Amino acid sequence: MTTKATIATIGQYVDQEVLIEGWLWNKRFSGKIGFLNLRDGTGFIQGVIAKQDVSEELFATAKGLTQETSVRVTGTVRAEERAASGYELNVTGVEVVAVTQDYPITPKEHGVDFLMDNRHLWIRSPRQRAVLKIRAEIIRGMRDYLDNNGFTQVDPPILTPSSAEGTTNLFEIEYVNGEPAYLSQSGQLYMEAAALALGKVYSFGPTFRAEKSKTRKHMIEFWMIEPEMAYVEHAENLQIQEAFVKHMIKWVLEHCPQELKTLERDTDALWRVVNEKFPVITYKEAVQILQEKGHDFPYGEDFGAPHETELTNHFDLPVFVEKWPADIKAFYMQPDPEDPSVVLGADLLAPEGYGEIIGGSQRIHDYELMKSRYEEHQLGESYNWYLELRQYGTVPHSGFGIGLERTIAWICGLDHVRETIMMPRLLYRLYP
């Protein structure tokens, strides 16, 4: 009996005959020899078939295979230094499972809209597969940090009666009883309740923002990990974020060398992030840097993409920008006791032009102060429970949210978030 193997673990079977169940993604025949590029989901390998070694029938079958035909291939595993995977398969048998004809995505160049319309097929290609693998490992690396540092996962609701991050991009739907409901923009407010119950918690799930902007960074549906911690204040919040990001990147470097290579990612830049301290600057210092670099940027405005790019190029490392003007940040952020016009919140900007990947802050825990924010922002009854958290056992607490897709774009070195998730939901894209 031939052993069933996967391409990822094929190194265990050198000189043995194995069965690979997969698909033909490319082939090349020249005279008496043929090369079958096979994939099985776990990886890619080249099968070699020589006319002189096999039956005429088998050689003809192999030669007639079309792209994306599903096949069960048997062969003997050979170590092959020149191969990307390190191995090759000397093909001894081919069983066609289903013939594919006219596969739309050919090895030639296709436009991005065409590829996006064929996203259900495009994800089979080596680069797209690598991104999805890295996405899975980024999630594992993040959770590994949190699970090993005393955090408990808690799942906040996705259907909510109120907004968490302002109303401009709120996604409204009709609830079963006819009331308006909103898809969650962030689980944070609920995670604050969870932190007062369990200490250190995190959520991981999809969030929704009806963003009208068509940029390389904005999605309508994106995933966030949101840790929230009781008795943690601003400075410690930043330390935890830094350790968390470093752990995740190290995890990916160690678990995805092949995929990073497929994407031709500069891993030295990522190792630098693991090994060096992240600079922390105030919003005010950031504005000064921008002005020195010739940007006509007034104090008190939010950064746009060119400003974030300028700042990250200046440091060439992830940089925390802290102490933002209270007016341009969320109602729940704790004012800085040294200057109440700014808040104890920080964004983490990723280097190489990627920009904001984390938004976080210390939260207001004082009842009276929160109550006055409610009046200023006219927060209605649907927020009563959140104010009550400041009434019953309130403590200083902090948290942050990391956007998964922007983080993946950075780690993978992609120029757009659309390739970071299987089926991106963008301003003009709901299909497939």
323 interacts with, out of ligand 4AD, Mg ion, none, CB within 5 to 8 A per kind: none
**Which among 44-52, 145-153, 350-358, 365-373 is the span making contact with ligand 4AD, rule CB under 6 A?**
350-358
**Which among 61-69, 135-143, 399-407, 421-429 is the span making contact with ligand 4AD, rule CB under 6 A?**
399-407
186 interacts with, out of Mg ion, ligand 4AD, none, CB within 5 to 8 A per kind: ligand 4AD
Tokens of 370: 């929160």
Q: Does 308 bind ligand 4AD (CB under 6 A)?
A: no
405 interacts with, out of ligand 4AD, Mg ion, none, CB within 5 to 8 A per kind: ligand 4AD
Query: Given the complex with ligand 4AD, which of 224 and 256 has the nearer CB atom?
Result: 224
Tokens of 48: 């070699």
Write out the binding residues for ligand 4AD, residues 21-40 only, by CB under 6 A. Answer: none
Q: Contact with ligand 4AD (CB under 6 A): which of 360, 390, 414, 420? A: 360
Give least dist CB 399 to ligand 4AD, A: 5
Q: Contact with Mg ion (CB under 5 A): which of 359, 396, 399, 424? A: 359
CB 299 within 8 Å of CB 328: no
Write out the binding residues for Mg ion, residues 13-42 only, by CB under 5 A. Answer: none
Is the C-alpha dihedral spanning 268, 269, 274, 279 positive or negative? positive
Q: Are strands 152-153 and 70-79 parallel, antiparallel or unpaired?
A: unpaired
Instruction: Let me know if 277 is exposed, middle or buried by CB neighbors in 10 A (0-12, 13-18, 19+).
Output: exposed
Question: CA torsion angle for 55, 60, 63, 66 (degrees, to 10)?
Answer: -120
**Which among 42-50, 73-81, 356-364, 384-392 is the span making contact with Mg ion, rule CB under 5 A?**
356-364
Distance CA 360, CA 39 (A): 41
Tell me the residue length of the chain. Answer: 432
Beta strands in 254-318 (DSSP E): 280-282
Q: Does 399 bind ligand 4AD (CB under 6 A)?
A: yes
What separation in angstroms does the CA of 406 have from each of 191, 281, 358, 415? 22, 21, 9, 10
The identity of residue 372, as a single letter, is S
Is the C-alpha dihedral spanning 284, 290, 291, 292 positive or negative? positive
Give least dist CB 347 to Mg ion, A: 6
Q: Contact with ligand 4AD (CB under 6 A): which of 139, 406, 414, 419? A: 406
Residue 158, SS3 per DSSP: coil
DSSP letter for 329, please: S
Give least dist CB 226 to ligand 4AD, A: 4
Query: Given the complex with Mg ion, which of 36 and 321 has the nearer CB atom?
Result: 321
Q: What angle do CA 386, 388, 389 make, to 5 degrees?
A: 70
**Which among 259-267, 316-324, 351-359, 370-378 is the span making contact with ligand 4AD, rule CB under 6 A?**
351-359
Q: Does 350 bind ligand 4AD (CB under 6 A)?
A: no
Rg (CA), the chain: 26
Q: What angle do CA 198, 199, 201 make, to 5 degrees?
A: 75
Write out the binding residues for ligand 4AD, residues 114-173 only, by CB under 6 A. Answer: 164-165
Order of strands, sheet of 180-183, starting from the edge strand that comes earlier in the sequence: 159-160, 180-183, 171-174
Query: Given the complex with Mg ion, which of 129 and 209 has the nearer CB atom?
Result: 209
Residue nearest to Mg ion (CB): 359
State the residue for tokens 């996967």: 6
Site string for ligand 4AD, 212-251 (x = CB under 6 A): ------xx--x-x-x-------------------------
357 interacts with, out of Mg ion, ligand 4AD, none, CB within 5 to 8 A per kind: ligand 4AD
Q: Does 401 bind ligand 4AD (CB under 6 A)?
A: yes
Note the helical H segments in 41-125: 56-64, 112-117, 119-122
Tokens of 17: 């005959």
Q: Residues touching ligand 4AD: how many (CB under 6 A)?
A: 22
Q: Which residues bind Mg ion (CB under 5 A)?
A: 359
Q: Which residues bind ligand 4AD (CB under 6 A)?
A: 164-165, 186, 188, 209, 211, 218-219, 222, 224, 226, 356-360, 399-401, 403, 405-406
